[in-house]
Amino acid sequence: MKFRILIILFLAVVSCKPPEARYPVTQNSGSYIDQSVQRNKQLLSQEEAYIQEIIEQDSTRNYIASNSGFWYFYNQKNTDSINTEMPEFGDIVVFDYNISTLDGQPIYAEGEKPTKEYAVDQEKLFSGLREGLKLMKEGETVTFLFPSYKAFGYYGDKAKIGTNVPITAKVTLHSINTETNNESNN
């Protein structure tokens, strides 16, 4: 009996060692991510060069470079000194837009997209348009040139716009219902 207890005690002491870490069979060095970053930088560089080429060839318009990485020009500018408000967080804006390629081929023609009501920065909208609307005043029509990362990026819109397609969007801002107006109407 003592012998069995000694064996059980011995096995218990020997088997109580800390667990050993299991290491992966293969290790990735992150080279795929590095390659992806390089591809994206190259793609952006090509798109920006193409947009600059378009701008240089068009001497009839005054293009403005935004701080957000896209370009735009006014088709119709609001020169009214009274109405100078631009949309801010929470404001409700009503606008129309159409989308075409940088070459001018329509993707979504004028009137194909319904008039949209949008709560600024509170609803989904592609990043370029979301930022572009904040640069507009009521009654203005602006044409934006978006590199693909500011448009629909890698995924496209899953309908007519494919992967990494830079676009032109012509936007008309019909009205801005400011957050203070929203609160007083409730």
Which pair of structure tokens corresponds to residue 71? 């370009």
Question: What local confidence, expressed as pLDDT, does residue 7 receive?
Answer: 76
Q: Give me the architecture of the 65-80+87-185 domain, per CATH.
A: Roll (3.10)
- How do beta strands 64-65 and 167-177 pair? unpaired
Domain boundaries, the chain: 65-80+87-185
Q: Using CA atoms, how far apart are residues 162 and 154, in angstroms rounded to an integer?
A: 8
> Taking all residues of the chain, what is their mean pLDDT, rounded to a whole number?
87
Mind listing the pLDDT tens digit of every residue in the chain (186 residues)? 677 777 776 766 666 667 777 777 766 666 788 888 899 999 999 999 999 999 999 999 999 999 999 999 999 998 876 777 899 999 999 999 999 999 999 999 988 888 999 999 999 999 999 999 999 999 999 999 999 999 999 899 988 999 999 999 999 999 999 865 545 444
User: Which three-class secondary structure string do you get for 135-156?
Assistant: CCCCCCEEEEEECHHHCCCCCC
Residue 20's pLDDT is 73
140, 77 contact by CB (below 8 A): yes
Q: 150, 68 in Cβ contact below 8 A? A: yes
pTM: 0.78
Distance CA 126, CA 93 (A): 15
Residue type, 28: N
CA geometry: angle 97, 103, 107, nearest 5 deg: 40
The Cα-based distances of 185 to 84, 116, 117, 179 in angstroms read: 22, 20, 17, 10
